[in-house]
């Protein structure tokens, strides 16, 4: 019997396999890429989006003011926008629900009955426990059935007194992703060219509303106003309005206003924590933070006052270190250089390559190279040879002159201003190097203070910006928790209120992950520098803590001695009376000095009261002498000091600042 073919058995069911569609090559603009991968820039969810928007606007404002050496005055406002107001802003008429069952928060009668019964039982149990005197937990309020479609909207406004922006550049500065002014090799708060642009992209995705920018530069008699959004697919600005307006107040700076979806409730603490840490690391700035809501009890207004008018130097752009470049970078430098020959190129485009070293390097490259050869004529193979030699040769480390750390003075002031600790120590390390990039680590350790929890409170900063997320894997956290023996410095890691502040500045911060939230623990140079800086602070604190303990022991000793004076007086006086009796009856004779004392006892010239007074004076004298010795050993640095606040003077005066770890002395000419 012949077997039937599959096609005959399953007649009519066979299908001709479809041909796979041909792949079509597509391209995405940078704006489209970041819109689809917004978590890369820290826009993970509505709450994080609100936090990141505030952070980016504040940091841009600080950069803008510092660029013209202006003491920053920054106002940041978050205004809650209710649904009805938001709908009117976008021209949408409110509509009542018709089909209730269509909505995600719809609750059937049976489900409602079940929920109410459960809440009633919980309240009954709570009442019984209260009657029995048991500790009553607060009744958990049932979560409101908030549908997925509902959202909270906020208008975020940031105003500064910085340099402002050129009128014609504003559209591209906000409406073109990966365009910016921070791409040179220097210490900057951000380098991606995203910042406010990502806030604009998120605004477009969540509300569809444009961003509004007002700006004016020094000396301008007009104010630039621009309302725009971004064409995601073409990565170009879509301008609604761009005009010049009167600048009657002669104001300079920028004001940026954007409406976004967010979540203040879940990220309130993070935003306020960020503002407080920013006030620590920039005590020369004044911040005014406001949260405005229709419910007055939710409103928040916090002013972080300026404590000093001494600003860190503006970071300067530097050249590349030979050991830190790759082949592509060498090719780009060759294409952009104005130098003609190889000798000039090496000396001009790289740090730490002088003429003698350049000659030695060219000689080591081989016979195909010469000092006078045209740098533009280098072949790919010759460029690879240069790169190989750069990786193998020994070069001096770059200096830290291009860096702008906060400074020990500012760090100390910031910690004192915001935490009010019982004692604080700061340390600023010298410039060190990793992979050809200079970096400086500054640290502060405080003990005690207000709003500080028991145990380690770690504050991390990178290029003078706070890092709040992914703390567990950070080099600072790991070092503070695992590599510092706090007990050796008389500090109790679990019971004392310890603040650990570490600020790292560099031309290249080795962030882990795309969110730029933590610095990895795998770079030994940075890990070692962080540990050393914290230890230096602990050494300073140990001497202060030991002296404080000694002073406390002296006070305790004085209290104990004073407590036993009455008993000692009675005992000594009774002995003296017995000795006086035996001396008077000539049973026992004493030397002239002792006999004189005993006669005074007999004549009541020495009484219990005089003895008590003398013993009290002796205790006071011993305590005074020990205190004097303590003060002498401690030195004048530990004398009581009074805080002195100097008013800012007119910036037109000529002066020099002399910096020390503890103070800044200003000499006016």
Query: pLDDT at position 633, please?
Result: 54
- 516 annotated to bind ligand: yes
Q: What integer pLDDT is reported at residue 192 of this predicted model?
A: 45
Distance CA 606, CA 214 (A): 89
Which of 610 and 263 is assigned the larger pLDDT?
Answer: 263
Higher pLDDT, 234 or 659: 234
What would the mean pLDDT of 312-317 be, rounded to a whole number?
Answer: 82
* Residue 653 pLDDT grade (very low, low, confident, very high; cuts 50, 70, 90): low
CA atoms within 13 A on the CB side of 518: 16
Which positions ≥6 away from 595 have C-beta within 8 Å? 583, 589
Whether the CB-CB separation of 176 and 235 falls below 8 Å is answered with yes
Partners of 73 in the β-ladder:
286
How far is residue 358 CA from its own chain's centroid? 41
Q: With H, G, I as helix, E, B as strand and everything else as coil, classify residue 476.
A: helix
* pLDDT value of position 223: 93
Between 616 and 148, the more confident residue is: 616
Cα–Cα distance, 28 to 228 (Å, whole number) = 21
**Would you say 194 is a known binding-site residue?**
yes
CB atoms under 10 Å from CB of 596, counted, come to 10
Greatest C-alpha distance within the chain: 152
Q: Is 0.75 surpassed by the pTM of this model?
A: no
pLDDT at 1: 45
Q: What percentage of the chain carries pLDDT values higher than 70? A: 81
**Contacts of range 371-380, beta carbons closer than 8 Å, 24 or more positions apart:** 371/341, 371/342, 371/343, 372/341, 372/342, 372/343, 373/341, 373/342, 374/340, 374/341, 374/342, 375/334, 375/337, 375/339, 375/340, 375/341, 375/342, 375/344, 375/345, 376/334, 378/334, 378/342
Residue 193 marked in a binding site:
yes
Residue 316: its pLDDT value, please? 80
Question: Is 197 a known ligand-binding residue?
Answer: yes
| H-assigned helices in 338-451 | 342-349, 355-365, 380-392, 408-419
181 is in an annotated binding site: yes
Question: Was 60 annotated as part of a binding site?
Answer: yes
Q: Taking a C-beta distance cutoff of 8 angstroms, is the pair 182, 67 a contact?
A: no
Average pLDDT, the chain: 81
> Measured between alpha carbons, how far apart are the two ends of the chain, in Å?
118
Handedness of CA 168, 169, 172, 174 (dihedral sign): negative
Q: 584 pLDDT exceeds 90?
A: no
Mean pLDDT lowest among 6-10, 336-340, 521-525: 6-10
Q: What is the pLDDT of residues 410-449, one digit of tens each?
A: 899 999 988 899 899 999 988 888 888 889 999 999 998 8
- Which pLDDT score is estimated for 10? 46
pLDDT band (50, 70, 90) for residue 80: very high
In DSSP notation, 615-648 reads HHHHHHHHHHHHHHHHHHHH-GGGS------PPP
Can you give the pLDDT at residue 637? 46
Instruction: Taking residues 467-483, report their average pLDDT.
Output: 90
> Which of 370-374, 466-470, 517-521, 610-614 shows the lowest per-residue confidence on average (mean pLDDT)?
610-614
| pLDDT at residue 391 greater than cutoff 80 | yes
Instruction: Kindly indicate the confidence band of residue 647, based on its pLDDT and cuts at 50, 70 and 90.
Output: low
């Amino acid at each position: 019997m012949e077997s039937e073919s599959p096609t005959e058995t399953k007649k009519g069911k066979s299908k001709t396999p479809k041909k796979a569609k041909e792949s079509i090559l597509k391209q995405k603009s940078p704006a489209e890429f970041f819109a689809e991968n917004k978590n890369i820039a820290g826009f993970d969810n509505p709450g994080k989006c609100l936090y990141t928007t505030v952070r980016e606007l504040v940091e841009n404002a600080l950069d803008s003011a510092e660029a013209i050496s202006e003491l920053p005055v920054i106002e940041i406002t978050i205004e809650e926008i209710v649904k009805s107001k938001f709908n009117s802003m976008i021209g949408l008429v409110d509509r009542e629900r018709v089909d209730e069952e269509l909505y995600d928060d719809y609750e059937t009668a049976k489900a409602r009955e079940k929920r109410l019964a459960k809440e009633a039982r919980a309240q009954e149990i709570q009442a019984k426990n209260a009657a029995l005197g048991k500790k009553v937990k607060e009744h958990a309020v049932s979560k409101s059935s908030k549908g997925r479609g509902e959202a909270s909207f906020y208008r975020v406004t940031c105003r500064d007194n910085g340099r402002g922006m050129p009128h014609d550049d504003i559209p591209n500065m906000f409406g073109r992703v990966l365009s910016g002014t921070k791409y040179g090799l220097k210490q900057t708060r951000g380098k991606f060219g995203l910042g406010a642009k990502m806030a604009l992209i998120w605004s477009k995705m969540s509300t569809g509303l444009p961003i509004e920018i007002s700006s004016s530069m020094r000396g301008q008699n007009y104010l630039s106003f621009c309302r725009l959004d971004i064409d995601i697919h073409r990565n170009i600005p879509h301008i609604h309005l761009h005009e010049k307006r009167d600048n009657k107040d002669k104001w300079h700076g920028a004001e940026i206003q954007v409406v976004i979806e967010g979540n203040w409730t879940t990220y309130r603490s993070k935003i306020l924590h960020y503002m407080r840490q920013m006030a620590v690391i920039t005590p020369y700035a004044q911040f005014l933070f406001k949260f405005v809501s229709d419910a007055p009890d939710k409103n928040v207004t916090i002013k972080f006052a300026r404590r000093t008018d001494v600003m860190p130097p503006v970071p300067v752009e530097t050249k590349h270190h030979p050991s830190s470049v790759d082949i592509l970078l060498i090719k780009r430098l060759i294409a952009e250089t104005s130098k003609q020959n190889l000798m000039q190129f090496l000396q001009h485009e790289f740090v730490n390559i002088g003429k003698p070293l350049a000659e030695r390097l060219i000689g080591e490259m081989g016979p195909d190279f010469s000092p006078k050869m045209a740098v533009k004529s280098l072949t790919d193979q010759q460029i690879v040879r240069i790169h190989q030699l750069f990786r193998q040769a020994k070069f001096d480390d770059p200096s830290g002159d291009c860096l702008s750390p906060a400074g020990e003075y500012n760090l100390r002031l910031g910690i004192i201003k915001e935490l009010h600790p019982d004692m604080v120590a700061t340390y600023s390390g010298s410039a060190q190097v990793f992979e050809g990039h200079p970096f400086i680590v500054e640290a502060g350790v405080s003990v005690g203070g207000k709003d500080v929890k028991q145990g380690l409170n770690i504050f991390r900063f990178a290029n003078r910006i706070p890092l709040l997320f992914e703390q567990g894997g950070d080099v600072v956290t790991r070092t503070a928790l695992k590599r510092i023996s706090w007990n050796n410095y008389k500090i109790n890691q679990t019971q004392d209120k310890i603040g650990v502040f570490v600020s790292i500045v560099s031309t290249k911060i080795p962030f882990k992950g795309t969110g730029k939230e933590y610095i990895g623990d795998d770079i030994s140079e940075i890990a070692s520098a962080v540990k050393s800086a914290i230890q230096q602070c602990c050494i300073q604190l140990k001497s202060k803590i030991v002296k404080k303990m000694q002073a406390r022991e002296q006070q305790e000793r004085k209290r104990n001695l004073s407590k036993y004076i009455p008993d000692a007086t009675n005992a000594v006086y009774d002995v003296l009376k017995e000795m006086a009796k035996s001396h008077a009856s000539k049973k026992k004779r004493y030397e002239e000095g002792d006999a004189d004392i005993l006669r005074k006892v007999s004549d009541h010239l020495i009484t219990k009261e005089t003895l008590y007074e003398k013993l009290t004076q002796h205790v006071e004298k011993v305590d005074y002498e020990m205190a004097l010795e303590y003060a002498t050993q401690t030195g004048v640095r530990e004398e009581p000091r009074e805080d002195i606040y100097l008013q800012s003077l007119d910036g037109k005066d000529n002066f020099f600042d002399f910096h020390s770890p503890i103070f800044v002395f200003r000499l006016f000419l």
